[in-house]
Amino acid sequence: MARRAGGSVADELANAAARGDLQWLRELLDGAADPNAVNSYGRTPIQVMMLGSPRVAELLLQRGADPNRPDPSTGCLPAHDAARAGFLETLAALHRARARLDQPDGRGRLPLDVAAGGPHGAVGRYLRHLPPAPDLSRGNSRPKLMLAPTSGDTKSSSTHAML
């Protein structure tokens, strides 16, 4: 793995996730970077990822990123961030990876409470009528994640058909 000048591997991993740089993120992870490494600001890649890129979320989750690690300053989980910003496909990817949707943030709010568009918007409807999460009791330690379509916009409500 060729390191870029400056910064730790944890910082590079977080920066790649934040930029949505799937190729560099994959190279770093293939080079044995820890998907739960904490950057110099105390955050993991999944906490700073580009929310509009469900493929970044899926790659991090496939490689073992913890979707239930709260932000050190706000107590928000990645699911809160995705719900607040209205990124339904990213939220669905987190849900498929067993993200806690019933866990409050540091101010006592659930992802449904902060959902873009309110409880009746696309994200709110998804959170109120959750499809079943994968059954991990059959010996699988990680859920199988479906890749989102490559066509782009992650704010669509077409995620229901993907689940």
Q: Where does residue 33 fall: left (phi above 0), alpha (psi -120 to 50 degrees), or beta otherwise?
A: beta
User: Do residues 10 and 38 make contact, with C-beta atoms less than 8 angstroms apart?
Assistant: yes
What is the SS3 assignment for 8?
coil
Residues 6+ apart with CB under 8 A from 40: 7, 8, 10, 11
Cα distances (angstroms) measured from residue 80 to each of 24, 34, 90, 150, 151: 26, 23, 11, 24, 24
Q: What phi and psi, each to the nearest 5 degrees, are found at residue 142?
A: -130, 140
CATH superfamily, domain at 9-133+146-162: Ankyrin repeat-containing domain (1.25.40.20)
- pLDDT per residue, tens digit, the chain (163 aa), is 444 445 699 999 999 999 999 999 999 999 999 999 999 999 999 999 999 999 999 999 999 999 999 999 999 999 999 999 999 999 999 999 999 999 999 999 999 999 999 999 999 999 999 987 665 554 444 444 433 333 344 444 333 333 3
The ranges assigned to domains in the chain are 9-133+146-162
Tell me which residue of 47, 149, 46 sits closest to 89, measured CA to CA.
Answer: 149
**What is the predicted pLDDT for the residue at 135?**
59
Task: Note the pLDDT tens digit of each residue in 75-121.
Answer: 999 999 999 999 999 999 999 999 999 999 999 999 999 999 999 99
Instruction: Give the Cα separation of 69 and 78 in Å (integer).
Output: 8
